[in-house]
Structure 1
């Protein structure tokens, strides 16, 4: 962390409280503490990243990206800021810009699983499948405990059984990950395991009944099976 002036050490307490609240998803309170920290030291990279993390978690991607870029402007060697910036660009669908950002992060430090997951996702969305596969495998070696990693690895699998093995591993880490649950449903339907597909889809519905992708999968299930999933 960048050094904090002695007469403003109190700001570190606000920052740490914001981090704690963010970890328990109390976003409104976390945001207030990060704002207080930034009022004390407006240009501190870690405080800027904390603010960006709250905005990212609440779906305010453009604003989050702004704060990450500000952190980079203040400390160009801040690896975490580059990673967060790239991840936000992915969420915004700006895959080329995301890849360029991750590549700049790689110039700082290349032995990071989150970095290679981000690179893999960007490459996959740009239809550079072979390179994406290599990047995702590097992510698996460096940081296998990323649920999203197992989802994206599964999308490279043509064999449904192999894909389900990967998805099941990711699901154990994060039982509420909708990407994983919906891909499991799709694969199970393709294997004509309708009952299991319905059970998995119900779990997705319980996570977020209003999610557009969940609603579309329910419609797909009806079209394929001619019956309700649950």
Structure 2
């Protein structure tokens, strides 16, 4: 409405033969006032656009900073948990085949590490969802990481169930250990480890993409190179 009124006023003034209506001095005054008004409107719109651009950049930088902190925390927690799983995987057959008791401290460390990972994962998701408009271009990565982490959780539950079946039900109850069950557990732990590395890689890709998207223009348009896996079966998120 305001724009239409402004355009009508401009058209009216332009269409009039003001020299035949008012003196030259008054005509000049009106022209000057009109010029000031038009200039003021242009300045206002430009300033408003600049302010909106600054606000958008501030929101992007804030969201990027928060997400990078969350991703770093999640990476550290997942790496720690994965190292413990790898250690457990190397020793699981020894525990089972020798019928020795599994160190409860190891079990507790693994459990605590994965609980810490789950907390960091949920924190990252909540932060992502709270910044969805700003991070909309990264939403497909969020969805992929979400699906992969859920799959990892399912695999973790399967491994825990197998450990329970083999160790607690057979060793502690004195039942015979079936070699195939031990092999299945080792295979599942190995697959579980591979899936963990996939998620670590995706989180690393997200780190790079966030920095390249929101920080490169601040640092002379510098961009970080993405991963280049030797095996093409490994996905890189760009």
Assess same fold via TM > 0.5.
no
**TM-score using structure 2 length:** 0.24
> Which structure is richer in relative contact order (CA contacts within 8 A, separation 6 or more)?
2
**TM-score using structure 1 length:** 0.25
Structure with larger Rg: 2
